[in-house]
Amino acid sequence: MSLELPTLPYEATALEPHISANTLSFHHGKHHQAYVNNANNLIKGTDLENATVEQIIKTTAGDAQKVGLFNNAAQVWNHSFYWNCMQPNGGGVATGAIAQKIDEDFGSFDAFVTEFKNAAATQFGSGWAWLVLDGGKLKVVKTANADTPLAHGFKALLTVDVWEHAYYLDYQNRRPDYVDTFLNHLVNWDFVNANLVA
């Protein structure tokens, strides 16, 4: 069973003007596809050839001999998760069960937003900012490069990709503007709520 590039959960133009079809064509069609291809090449003929992407990540995490496979498999998973974190006409204040949980664990939605923006802005170089469940409590974490909450026992609820290829065509070096736009106009709170109860 080889890994496959998932179809985007919306049309390539659906997130405009916030994220352009041009960005999605490169990000999904080139970058994400390359991670899928690389991971498939690396598992071919090995005992992980029929493993799920989650199994590959958990098996290779922390193994210096398999860092290339971990990086590509983790990027396959991270990106598949990220696409679902967005929707047309999304964003704004959290809704559903996650709204109450954010108030309980961060004190307010604004406090969560401040912490999430800070994690995204201060991730040096490439990486991700995440809202995760850690032992039943929400927290914001950031991961470098391909690292993923799956490798650390956290349950991912929401992520924003802060690799430059995620935003540079639309926002150039203005990462904070991209993260603002993600929170205000793109977050799929239904997906976050589904993850919370899954």
In the prediction, which pLDDT does 52 show? 96
Provide the pLDDT confidence category of residue 100 given band limits of 50, 70 and 90.
very high
The confidence band for 173, taking pLDDT boundaries of 50, 70 and 90, is very high
- What integer best gives the mean pLDDT of the chain? 97
Supply the CATH classification number for the domain 21-84.
Answer: 1.10.287.990
pLDDT for position 54: 96
Domain ranges of the chain: 21-84, 97-197
Task: Provide the pLDDT for residue 2.
Answer: 87
| DSSP 8-class letter at 187 | B
Query: Does 187 have pLDDT greater than 70?
Result: yes
Q: Answer whether 116's CB lies under 8 Å from 129's CB.
A: yes
At residue 44 the predicted structure's pLDDT band, cuts being 50, 70 and 90, is: very high
Compute the distance between CA of residue 164 and CA of residue 171 in angstroms, rounded to an integer. Answer: 9
The model carries a pTM of 0.96
97-197 folds as minor pseudopilin epsh fold (3.55.40)
The residues near 88 (Cβ < 8 Å, ≥ 6 apart) are 10, 14, 15
Confidence grade of residue 1 (pLDDT, cut at 50, 70, 90):
low
- Residue 85 CA neighbour count, 13 Å, CB half: 22
